[in-house]
């Protein structure tokens, strides 16, 4: 859920850098500024801003679970200190969502000073992207609600930040969050650029468990490309095969006796269609080739780590089965006939007219179909007055 944008402006920012990541904090007295739009808390008389130099940008389509035990180069930290309390961003093994490690945002002591800010910042190259998604898991470890808590974004190297999510109301259990970064940036008047910054920030004055947040499994994604899918008859089954994108999840959507199918967003609740999630780049439809109507539509969708599906409107992803009827699969054909009322043929002078109505109830072409009709003895087939294509063989005519 997107919240009303909250803009942070850093008017007083002093950082001494030693080497690439080392730094010496500068203590600087700051008085309280309450004028809009400056909304950060600067009421402390001594604030220390500790910031790491951004070293690299991640490309989109990555997931970081911190399993190396250290932050990757495209993630940095930013903390403040206040009256003896210091903000912390730490990798921990105490409360992971998955795997072994996660990140904690907290203060290094319990009530020993004022509130501190602590933030994990991700720099990603989103230049030229029209769609991008952010997915992560977060647990509120006891933190109260503050305007400084949440996810913030910046397109100007961190000179200003806009809050796009308040996660202070989340529970102590891990909650999955999905954010449309393109939509959030547009709402905030920002541009997806190379060096686009995403900040996960907390604000409080106690250690983790009493305050703070735990964050894990951070993914930034752009939608997957359409898949190229082929269908191959395999006895009474159908094998669907597609190009392997390295994804951990694909969705196979299909319908029976439905002319059109529009995949939904939830494979676990696909009604009125069917959907199965698979991890391999193949799927076998059991009994599909034996269906009498051959009336199947299907889509195969790639799903990335942010839950985004590949575009399903592409023709390369959808299809209908058109296996030949010669494979012992009956066509769904119907035939009815009508004739004039029963009369005495020996006395008849006018022609007898037979009307045959035939239909293919499936959506597929039925090849080599022959219609036959037996006619009474004593009659002569009038080919000239009949629909073209009819012929007579003995007492039977056919087309």
Q: Check whether residue 17 and residue 130 sit in a common domain.
A: yes
Tokens 């920012």 sit on residue:
13
Q: Check whether residue 201 and residue 347 sit in a common domain.
A: no
Is residue 56 in a domain?
Answer: yes
The verdict on pTM exceeding 0.75 is no
Q: Check whether residue 55 and residue 85 sit in a common domain.
A: yes
**The pLDDT of residue 380:** 78
Q: Check whether residue 263 and residue 204 sit in a common domain.
A: no
Is residue 389 in a domain?
Answer: yes
Is residue 84 in a domain?
Answer: yes
Is-contact 85 205, C-beta < 8 A? yes
Which CATH number characterizes residue 300's domain?
2.60.40
Is residue 167 in a domain?
Answer: yes
**The pLDDT of residue 89:** 98
Is residue 345 in a domain?
Answer: yes
Q: Check whether residue 175 and residue 68 sit in a common domain.
A: yes
Q: Check whether residue 167 and residue 47 sit in a common domain.
A: yes
Is-contact 316 231, C-beta < 8 A? no
Q: Check whether residue 52 and residue 184 sit in a common domain.
A: yes
**The pLDDT of residue 344:** 61
Domain finish residue from 285, 320, 355: 320
Q: Check whether residue 193 and residue 276 sit in a common domain.
A: no
**The pLDDT of residue 313:** 63
Is residue 132 in a domain?
Answer: yes
Which residues of 66-132 form beta strands (DSSP E)?
75-82, 85-92, 102-107, 116-125
Three-class SS of residue 393? strand
pLDDT in tens, the chain (399 residues): 333 344 444 433 333 333 333 333 333 333 333 333 333 333 333 344 444 444 478 877 888 999 999 999 999 999 999 999 999 999 999 999 999 999 999 999 999 999 999 999 999 999 988 889 999 999 999 999 999 999 999 999 999 999 999 999 899 999 999 999 999 999 999 999 999 999 999 999 999 999 999 999 999 988 888 888 888 878 778 889 998 887 778 999 888 666 567 787 788 888 888 899 999 999 998 877 766 555 677 888 998 877 778 877 643 445 555 544 344 445 566 666 665 556 565 665 567 777 778 877 655 566 677 888 777 777 777 888 888 888 877 666 655
Tokens 């008017």 sit on residue:
11
Is-contact 284 237, C-beta < 8 A? yes
Give the integer Cα–Cα distance in Å for 367 and 358. 14
Sequence-distant (≥ 6) Cβ neighbours of residue 72 within 8 angstroms: 56, 58, 64
**The pLDDT of residue 288:** 78
Give the integer Cα–Cα distance in Å for 77 and 93. 18
Q: Check whether residue 16 and residue 127 sit in a common domain.
A: yes
Q: Check whether residue 308 and residue 339 sit in a common domain.
A: no
356 forms bridges with which residues in the sheet? 337
Number of domains in the chain: 3
Q: Check whether residue 189 and residue 233 sit in a common domain.
A: no
Domain finish residue from 221, 246, 279: 221
Question: Of 229, 234, 266, 233, nearest to 245 (Cα)?
Answer: 229
Give the integer Cα–Cα distance in Å for 175 and 136. 8
Domain housing 173: 7-221
Domain finish residue from 299, 320, 341: 320
Which CATH number characterizes residue 105's domain?
2.60.120.200
Is residue 326 in a domain?
Answer: no
Is residue 53 in a domain?
Answer: yes
Q: Check whether residue 240 and residue 287 sit in a common domain.
A: yes
User: Which DSSP category does 227 fall into?
Assistant: P
């Amino acid at each position: 859920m997107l919240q009303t944008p909250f803009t942070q402006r850093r008017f007083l920012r002093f950082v001494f850098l030693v080497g690439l990541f080392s730094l010496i904090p500068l203590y600087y007295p700051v008085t309280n500024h309450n004028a809009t739009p400056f909304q950060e808390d600067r009421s402390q008389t001594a604030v220390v801003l500790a910031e790491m130099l951004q070293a690299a940008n991640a490309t989109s389509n990555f997931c970081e679970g911190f399993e190396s035990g250290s932050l990757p180069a495209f993630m940095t930290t930013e903390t403040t200190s206040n009256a003896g309390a210091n903000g912390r961003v730490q990798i921990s093994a105490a409360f992971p969502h998955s795997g072994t490690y996660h990140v904690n945002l907290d203060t290094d002591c319990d009530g020993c000073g004022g509130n501190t800010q602590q933030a994990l910042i991700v720099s990603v190259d989103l230049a030229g992207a029209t769609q991008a998604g952010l997915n992560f898991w977060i647990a509120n470890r006891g933190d109260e609600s503050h305007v400084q808590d949440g996810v913030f974004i910046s397109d100007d190297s961190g000179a200003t930040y806009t809050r796009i999510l308040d996660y202070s109301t989340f529970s102590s259990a891990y909650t999955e969050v999905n954010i449309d970064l393109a939509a959030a940036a547009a709402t905030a008047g920002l541009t997806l650029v190379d060096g686009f910054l995403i900040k996960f920030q907390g604000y409080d004055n106690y250690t983790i468990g009493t305050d703070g947040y735990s964050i894990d499994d951070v993914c930034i994604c752009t939608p997957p490309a359409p898949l190229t899918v082929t269908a191959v008859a395999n006895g009474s089954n159908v094998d669907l095969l597609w190009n392997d994108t390295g994804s951990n999840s694909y969705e196979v959507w299909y319908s029976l006796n439905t002319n059109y199918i529009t995949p939904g967003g939830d494979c676990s609740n696909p009604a009125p269609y069917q959907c199965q999630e698979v991890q391999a780049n193949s799927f076998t439809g059991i009994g599909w080739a034996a269906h009498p109507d051959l009336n199947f539509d299907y889509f195969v969708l790639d799903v990335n780590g942010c839950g985004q599906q590949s575009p399903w409107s592409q023709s390369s992803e959808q299809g209908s089965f058109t296996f030949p009827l010669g494979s012992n699969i009956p066509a769904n054909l119907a035939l009815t006939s009508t004739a004039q009322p029963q009369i005495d043929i020996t006395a008849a002078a006018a022609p007898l007219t037979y009307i045959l109505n035939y239909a293919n109830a499936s959506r597929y072409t039925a090849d080599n179909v022959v219609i036959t009709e037996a006619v009474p003895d004593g009659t002569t087939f009038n080919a000239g007055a009949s629909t073209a294509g009819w012929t007579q063989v003995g007492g039977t005519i056919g087309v």
